[in-house]
């Protein structure tokens, strides 16, 4: 298994157990969506996979290696193969788009190249290509604080695309983005995963996006896995139960009630 | 409440009186006819200032030297300040943080003039001592400010870069520096403006520039020349104030 | 998918301005190095590092002989006395000025009356004089007074008096002008004279601010007194300069330490005073 969690737990010092004895395996090239109410542990799970958090119990294998048994150099190289799209892109406001995108490969470049690119961007065509896929190629030399929220989010995605990681993780990448754009972003990430045969694990707020785009959906509730199924096997009742504690409604990207969506269509994942 | 105020007032007045007494300063004697006449004579000897072409050239050189002292000194201070700010912001652990902060405090507690005098002891008379003196003191000031800016900078960008495999130092350059560099540059320029005024007077302990010219001309009882130097100092301050106000307006616009 | 780009590479629009700015800054700094007689060898050369090391070691151990410590204690008291006396002198200089320019303004705000025109005429030259006093650095004043009245604390007191007089004068007048005139106006309406209205209506309102700034200036005066001592105006500074001439590092260290403690003390006293009189 490319990604393997074996009875993994994460307990915070105050005793709160964010992840409770979770076991799960994800193979190479799989595209998986993680859904669940807020506070369920979706972000924690993702951050465990990103090697940002260390499990307090159990074994974690990422890209075939145990990150917490690895040496500093091995961990760094492992992380260079993991790309994370954040909900709010962590980019300094005054940085230019081109530098922000090129920063995706800092984990792979030698020191001299990283330093040189700071003075003069060394791979502008490469950055431009990724921005073109996100339809903002014209923003190449703009400063990031001159972009709208949606444009900045696309820069964050472009950075991960430029990194060309073996594992793409996304933490609610489109919850602050309008429905049309969010569809394009999720679509582009899926396209990337399929074309390069890499693994994509996306934590999503909107259930309709998850069911539409991903062949495997994991529901997380209370730090545990509630279900791990392809969309056709997930019933409305299961979804309502998943979100029961949080709100009356199952969340969708455009805030339309979940039930109004055409039943058959929403369950058929998109294959390219 | 008012009684306490009156008490404090009386104590302060008593202290003030005691000060004059301790110094055996008889203000009356200080300002009596003879002393005043002497001071007046001394004051008049400053006019008219020496405005001969030769001397004005020397004044010009002195002014350039003063500006150079302030510029090079501030640049050196910025470099040293940045170097010390990194540990002072806790980037290398708790012990280096305490040590670096101690050094920075030491540097900035000692006034520029004292530093300049110490540097004259170490490196001899001349502008280099003034440059070093300014550099030491200003490094403490800039370093302290920069350390605080670094500590308050948001860590997310650099963290995200480290998570994608970047080395910590590179993540710092790409993720944290862009946020703090503008402030650093602005503050350094502000300190340079202050330092121009400082550089002008450091010379009185032998550290070059207009100050040194003033000291020499006063010691040689060349009052008209000294007056020219004082006028040059005033002119320099006015021009620098005006230029910086103009620049600030242009940049803000 | 996108194929390799054509030869049209995007050019970084920021590259040229950045390069130009860098070149400009370097070009401006370069002559500075020769003007300041910059000697990098001093900083890098191994031999000079040894000399540096030896130089630094002369500052230890601190000089703690009782005779010297007594001398330092006396100088410290002298510095404090210079600062205090200087500040008092500054107040004596600033107060009439502030009154001159504010009285006219306040009286005119409260209501027309005598003394208005006299105040108006004196205002501009008084302003100019204050500006002149505070624009010349205090150490230059100290140098001049040392030449005029001789070495010793008198020069320091006069220098602080003059410079800080200019500063206090300006700030006093600003404080007085910016304060609320309504209590004074109210007094006028109930029938009191203009002068009384000023001193009972305006003055008490402005007093805390005036005191606060004066105490702050006293704290600055302590530091300034030490620095002025360097050019002969008495106190710790003069003592330090003498030790420097003798190249006595231990004495210098002791005086430096005492100076740092003195500054901390003055800072604390000033903070307490300002809190109590607020």
Q: What is the rounded distance in angstroms from the CA atom of residue B207 to the CA atom of residue B204?
A: 7
DSSP for chain A, written as a single string: --EEEEEEEEE-TTS-EEEEEEEEEE-TT-EEEEE--TTSSHHHHHHHHTTSS--SEEEEEETTB-TTTS-HHHHHHHHHTEEEE-SS----TTSBHHHHHHGGGTTTS-HHHHHHHHHS-S-HHHHHHHHHHTT-GGGTTSBGGGS-HHHHHHHHHHHHHHH--SEEEEESTTTTS-HHHHHHHHHHHHHHHHHHT-EEEEE-S-HHHHHHH-SEEEEEETTEEEEEE-GGG--HHHHHHHTTTT-SS---TT---GGGS-HHHHHS----
Mean pLDDT, range B225-252, rounded to an integer: 87
Question: Residue C5: what pLDDT?
Answer: 47
pLDDT above 90: residue B140: yes
Kindly determine whether residue A118 and residue B174, on different chains, have CB atoms separated by under 8 Å: yes
Higher pLDDT, A266 or A84: A84
Q: Which two tokens stand for residue B178?
A: 């862009």
Chains that touch C (3 or more CB pairs under 8 A): A, B
For B36-55, what is each residue's pLDDT tens digit? 788 888 888 888 888 898 99
pLDDT above 90: residue C107: no
CATH of the domain at C216: 1.10.3720.10
Structural domain including C145 reads 68-276
For the ranges A75-84, A85-94, B244-253, C138-147, the lowest mean pLDDT is seen at: B244-253
* Residue C64: strand, helix, or coil: coil
Whether cis (ω within 30° of 0) applies to the bond prior to C61 is: yes
Domains and CATH numbers, chain A: 1-72+205-272 (3.40.50.300)
Label residue C99 by pLDDT band (50, 70, 90). Answer: confident
- Has residue C54 been placed in a domain? no
Contact between residue C170 and residue C130 where contact means Cβ atoms under 8 Å apart: yes
For the ranges A102-106, B244-248, C20-24, C263-267, the lowest mean pLDDT is seen at: B244-248
Question: Residue C6: what pLDDT?
Answer: 46
Mean pLDDT, range C221-239, rounded to an integer: 91
- Has residue B43 been placed in a domain? no
Tally of domains in chain B: 1
Question: Residue A110: what pLDDT?
Answer: 93
Beta-bridge mates of residue A33: A202, A217
Q: Which residues, numbered 125 to 164 in chain C, qualify as contacts with chain B under a Cβ-Cβ cut-off of 8 Å? A: 135-137, 139-140, 143-144, 147-149, 153-154, 157-158
Tally of domains in chain C: 1
* Mean per-residue pLDDT over chain A, rounded: 87
Nearest to B65 by CA among B135, B130, B119, B117: B130
Mean pLDDT, range C237-261, rounded to an integer: 90
For A164-203, what is each residue's pLDDT tens digit? 999 999 998 887 788 888 888 999 999 999 999 999 999 9
- Has residue B28 been placed in a domain? no
Mean pLDDT, range C105-124, rounded to an integer: 62
Q: How close C28 comes to chain A (CA, Å)?
A: 21
Question: Residue C102: what pLDDT?
Answer: 65
Q: How close A37 comes to chain B (CA, Å)?
A: 24
Q: What is the rounded distance in angstroms from the CA atom of residue B75 to the CA atom of residue C91?
A: 39
Chain B interface includes C52 (CB < 8 A): yes
Mean pLDDT, range A240-259, rounded to an integer: 72
Q: What is the rounded distance in angstroms from the CA atom of residue A60 to the CA atom of residue A70?
A: 12
In degrees to the nearest 10, what's the CA dihedral of C262, C267, C269, C274? 160
Report the range out of B146-155, C32-41, C54-63 with the highest average pLDDT: B146-155
Residues listed for chain B: 253
Q: Which of C36, C154, C277 sits opposite B128 (nearest CB)?
A: C36
pLDDT above 70: residue A229: yes
Size of interface A-C (CB pairs under 8 A): 23
- Has residue B13 been placed in a domain? no
Mean pLDDT, range B77-101, rounded to an integer: 93
Q: Which of B25, B111, B122 sits opposite C154 (nearest CB)?
A: B25
- Has residue C151 been placed in a domain? yes
pLDDT above 80: residue C152: yes
Higher pLDDT, C142 or C179: C142
Q: How close C171 comes to chain A (CA, Å)?
A: 40
Kindly determine whether residue C12 and residue A124, on different chains, have CB atoms separated by under 8 Å: yes
Mean pLDDT, range C135-157, rounded to an integer: 88
Query: Is this complex scored with an ipTM above 0.85?
Result: yes
pLDDT above 90: residue A254: no
Beta-bridge mates of residue B194: none
Question: Residue A272: what pLDDT?
Answer: 42
Label residue B164 by pLDDT band (50, 70, 90). Answer: very high
Question: Residue C2: what pLDDT?
Answer: 46
Number of other residues whose CB lies within 10 A of the CB of residue B43: 12
Question: Residue C64: what pLDDT?
Answer: 83
CATH of the domain at B215: 1.10.3720.10
Label residue B59 by pLDDT band (50, 70, 90). Answer: very high
- Has residue C245 been placed in a domain? yes
Q: Which residues, numbered 174 to 203 in chain C, qualify as contacts with chain B under a Cβ-Cβ cut-off of 8 Å? A: none
CA angle in degrees (0–180, nearest 5) for B47-B51-B52: 130
For A17-47, what is each residue's pLDDT tens digit? 888 888 999 999 999 999 998 878 888 999 9
pTM of structure: 0.83
pLDDT above 50: residue A57: yes
Q: How close B128 comes to chain C (CA, Å)?
A: 5
* Mean per-residue pLDDT over chain B, rounded: 88
Query: Which residues from A are below 8 Å from C12, CB to CB?
Result: 98, 120-121, 124, 141
For the ranges A32-36, A163-167, B22-26, C214-218, the lowest mean pLDDT is seen at: B22-26
Residues listed for chain C: 278
- Has residue C89 been placed in a domain? yes
- Has residue C4 been placed in a domain? no
**Sign of torsion over alpha carbons B81, B87, B91, B92:** positive
Nearest to A35 by CA among A240, A203, A189, A213: A203
Kindly determine whether residue B128 and residue C39, on different chains, have CB atoms separated by under 8 Å: yes
Higher pLDDT, C103 or C251: C251
Q: Which two tokens stand for residue B5?
A: 């105020």
Higher pLDDT, C174 or B26: C174
For the ranges A64-78, B69-83, C42-56, the lowest mean pLDDT is seen at: C42-56
Number of other residues whose CB lies within 10 A of the CB of residue C182: 13
Structural domain including B169 reads 67-252
- Start-end of H helices in B52-111: 53-88, 94-109
Q: What is the rounded distance in angstroms from the CA atom of residue A15 to the CA atom of residue B193?
A: 55
Query: Which residues from C are below 8 Å from B201, CB to CB?
Result: 137, 139-140
Question: Residue C259: what pLDDT?
Answer: 92
Question: Residue C78: what pLDDT?
Answer: 92
Question: Residue A213: what pLDDT?
Answer: 92
Kindly determine whether residue A96 and residue C14, on different chains, have CB atoms separated by under 8 Å: yes
Q: How close B157 comes to chain A (CA, Å)?
A: 4
Question: Residue C52: what pLDDT?
Answer: 74
- Has residue C84 been placed in a domain? yes
Higher pLDDT, C48 or B67: B67
């Amino acid at each position: 298994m490319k990604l393997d969690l074996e009875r993994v737990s994460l307990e915070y010092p105050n005793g709160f157990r964010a992840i409770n004895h979770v076991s799960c395996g994800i193979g190479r090239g799989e595209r998986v969506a993680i859904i669940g109410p807020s506070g369920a542990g979706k972000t924690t799970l993702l951050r465990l996979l990103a090697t940002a958090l260390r499990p307090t119990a159990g074994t974690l294998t990422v890209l075939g290696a145990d990150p917490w048994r690895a040496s500093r150099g091995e961990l760094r190289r492992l992380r260079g193969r993991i790309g994370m799209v954040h909900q709010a892109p962590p980019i300094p406001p005054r940085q230019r788009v081109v530098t922000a995108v090129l920063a995706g490969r800092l984990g792979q470049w030698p020191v001299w190249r990283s330093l040189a690119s700071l003075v003069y961007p060394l791979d502008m065509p490469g950055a431009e290509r990724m921005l073109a896929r996100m339809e903002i190629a014209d923003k190449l030399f703009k400063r990031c604080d001159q972009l709208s929220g949606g444009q900045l989010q696309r820069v964050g995605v472009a950075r991960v695309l430029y990194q060309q990681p073996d594992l793409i993780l996304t933490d609610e990448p489109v919850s602050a983005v309008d429905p049309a754009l969010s569809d394009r972003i999720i679509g582009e990430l899926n396209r990337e995963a399929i074309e390069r045969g890499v693994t994509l694990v996306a934590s999503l707020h909107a259930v309709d996006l998850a069911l539409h785009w991903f062949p495997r959906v994991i529901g997380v509730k209370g730090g545990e896995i509630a279900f791990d199924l392809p969309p056709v096997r997930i019933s409305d009742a299961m979804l309502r139960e998943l979100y029961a504690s949080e709100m009356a409604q199952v969340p969708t990207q455009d805030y339309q009630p979940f039930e109004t969506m055409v039943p058959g269509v929403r369950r058929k994942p998109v294959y390219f | 409440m008012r009684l306490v105020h009156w008490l404090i007032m009386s104590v302060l007045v008593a202290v003030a009186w005691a000060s004059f007494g301790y110094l055996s300063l008889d203000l009356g004697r200080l300002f009596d006819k003879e002393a005043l006449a002497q001071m007046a004579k001394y004051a008049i000897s400053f006019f008219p200032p020496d405005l001969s072409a030769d001397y004005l050239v020397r004044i010009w050189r002195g002014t350039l030297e003063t500006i150079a002292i302030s510029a090079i000194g501030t640049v050196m201070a910025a470099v040293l300040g940045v170097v010390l700010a990194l540990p002072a912001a806790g980037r290398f652990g708790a012990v280096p943080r305490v040590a670096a902060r101690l050094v920075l405090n030491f540097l900035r507690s000692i006034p520029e003039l004292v530093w300049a005098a110490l540097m004259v002891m170490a490196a001899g008379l001349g502008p280099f001592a003034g440059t070093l003196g300014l550099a030491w003191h200003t490094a403490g000031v800039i370093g302290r400010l920069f350390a605080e800016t670094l500590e308050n900078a948001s860590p997310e960008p650099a963290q995200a870069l480290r998570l994608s495999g970047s080395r910590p130092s590179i993540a710092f350059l790409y993720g944290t520096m862009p946020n703090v560099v503008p402030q650093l540059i602005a503050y350094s320029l502000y300190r340079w403006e202050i330092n121009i005024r400082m550089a002008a007077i450091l010379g009185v302990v032998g550290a070059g520039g207009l100050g040194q010219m003033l000291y020499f001309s006063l010691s040689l009882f060349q009052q008209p020349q000294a007056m020219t130097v004082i006028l040059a100092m005033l002119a320099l301050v006015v021009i620098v104030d005006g230029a910086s106000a103009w620049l600030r307006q242009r940049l803000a616009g | 998918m996108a194929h390799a780009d054509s030869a049209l590479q995007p050019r970084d629009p920021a590259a040229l301005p950045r390069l130009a700015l860098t070149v400009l800054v370097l070009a401006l700094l370069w002559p500075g190095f020769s003007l300041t007689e910059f000697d990098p060898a001093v900083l890098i050369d191994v031999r000079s590092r040894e000399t540096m090391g030896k130089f630094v070691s002369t500052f230890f151990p601190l000089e703690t002989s009782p005779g010297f410590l007594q001398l330092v204690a006396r100088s410290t008291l002298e510095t404090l006395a210079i600062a205090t006396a200087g500040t008092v002198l500054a107040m004596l200089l600033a107060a009439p000025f502030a009154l001159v320019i504010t009285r006219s303004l306040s009286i005119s705000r409260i209501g027309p009356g005598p003394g208005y025109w006299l105040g108006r005429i004196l205002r501009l030259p008084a302003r100019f004089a204050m500006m002149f006093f505070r624009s010349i650095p205090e150490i230059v004043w100290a140098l001049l007074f040392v030449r005029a009245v001789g070495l010793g604390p008198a020069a320091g007191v006069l220098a602080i008096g003059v410079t800080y007089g200019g500063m206090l004068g300006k700030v006093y007048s600003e404080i007085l002008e910016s304060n609320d005139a309504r209590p004074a106006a109210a007094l006028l309406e109930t029938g009191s004279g203009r002068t009384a209205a000023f001193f009972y209506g305006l003055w008490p309102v402005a007093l805390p601010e005036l005191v606060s700034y004066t105490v702050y200036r006293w704290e600055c005066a302590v530091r300034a007194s030490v620095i002025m001592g360097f050019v002969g105006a008495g106190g710790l500074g003069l003592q330090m300069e003498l030790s420097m001439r003798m190249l006595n590092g231990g004495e210098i260290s002791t005086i430096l330490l005492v100076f740092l403690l003195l500054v901390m003390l003055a800072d604390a006293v000033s903070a307490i005073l300002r809190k109590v009189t607020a």
